[in-house]
A and B are shown apart, each in its own frame.
Chain A
């Protein structure tokens, strides 16, 4: 099931990605409307991270095309931001919180220019948005997992982009951070920014996302959450793993086995 969009922010057509000839994503084909928070949902190994890395040009694609704002990535790079998985970097790197957030400005600077006062002001504003204004000078290794994730979010905000791609921003963060992050994302979506989030917690999907992209190597569904996020399609995406649980559920239902013997 796929809902097509007129004038999409992101349009992916027939995308195939392979690692040393073995395809990990097949014929991915969908488009996204402006100003939504979209979740990319699928089981482990479904290619969720691969999909957004390919959109960002970190991994090359084998076939198909990706259009962002109806242009190629290179033409609109400054309007696109990326939040990698928190574990993908070494947090013992000698840098302060402010240093990392300032990196969000590097894309706009070119080779010879250095970050100036305005860049610093923007970085500090972004740190305030994520609630880390008191940690600007802190060494990044001294942060908790949730704080590290906020630093990454602040760095993405500092890019002042229109499209944000985030790889598992809720992985391993505390409940307070998760709530803070989703509030910031809502605020951004209200300002007509588009946010794509790789997510694996099925429980929170309905609350967090307006739009859902279900994948498992192939596209299973793409559309508004209430239309797409139903048992049939989730099962299709998760294949065997959920079916087993569903079968157990069905057996329990049919035989009416009480959850606990009295």
Chain B
């Protein structure tokens, strides 16, 4: 049962992150996910200090606010100060993350969060973080409920917004010209990334969140040239990585998040070499064939 809960947690995170990450990498904003997953830290600490508990709702609100704040700052620095996007991202998220770290260290006694947990999380504790009703009924691990809710919201968001997200990603000028509110969709997407990141990293840590945001979509991107298929492949990859990542960690007796991230790298490398059209092997063969025909 432990294995099941952990693999399920990994899969839920992987699918939510992968769906959003697909749009991020196509918008050339992969590192925004990294930025948001770090920039939400002060939000979490402040929400905790204000509410005095670790209820998911207050955490999500605090983190969501700081996630959006960081995207506003990044946009502002990029547009008004003419700073390159990547530089704006680098300045913003390191600053906000550091503020979060200071808050944690100043209020050490009062905050039930530590830096290690934020960065690496501990997916192995998911099965013991149980949701127990007042009458003592055990409902199963608490993170599963939170992550499932988030996944349902993200799937709804992507299904409803698919057309607008797609056109706003491919050709924002044209989308604006035909009356699609591209700026609104941009911030909705950023808000969705913030919420997913926060809900996920409590269980799996921010490194695995970033890995799931970028790894599976980047791998799927090499495998297909259809956006819908790219989203589906991303989801399948996420589940496969959670499954094999867990058993690899079990076998090596190593960190589960670490093993999942390493497997992501392995999957990407395999695809990078062997992908039917875009892989380096296929390209090499093609150029050899051309050379022979010439």
Chain A interfacial positions (CB closer than 8 Å to B): 20, 53, 56-58, 74, 77-78, 80-82, 84, 88-90, 93-96, 99-100, 103, 106-107, 109, 111-112, 114, 139, 141, 155, 159
Contacts and interface: CB of A to CB of B under 8 A. Distances in A.
Complex A-B, nearest 8 residue pairs according to Cβ-Cβ distance, in ascending order: A107-B178, A82-B177, A139-B225, A56-B177, A77-B179, A84-B173, A94-B225, A89-B171
Select the residue from B80, B166, B178, B226 with max chain A CB neighbours within 10 A: B178
B133 to A, nearest CB: 38
B224 interface: yes
A58 B170 contact: no
B164 A111 contact: yes
27 contacts: A56-B173, A58-B176, A58-B177, A77-B178, A77-B179, A81-B178, A82-B177, A84-B173, A84-B177, A88-B171, A88-B173, A89-B171, A90-B28, A90-B170, A93-B26, A93-B169, A93-B170, A94-B221, A94-B229, A95-B166, A95-B227, A103-B174, A106-B180, A107-B178, A107-B179, A111-B160, A141-B225
A111 to B, nearest CB: 7
Which range holds the interface residue count of chain B? 20 to 34
Given A96-B225, A96-B226, A106-B163, A89 B170 contact: yes
Nearest to A167: B173
A82 B174 contact: yes
B230 interface: yes
Q: What DSSP secondary structure best describes chain B's contact surface?
A: helix
A106 B221 contact: no
Contacts, number: 78
A28 to B, nearest CB: 19
Contacts of A53: 173
Contacts of A103: 166-167, 170-171, 174
A149 to B, nearest CB: 14
A55 to B, nearest CB: 9
Contacts of B225: 94-96, 139, 141
A89 B167 CA distance: 11
Interface in B225-240: 225-227, 229-230
B234 to A, nearest CB: 11
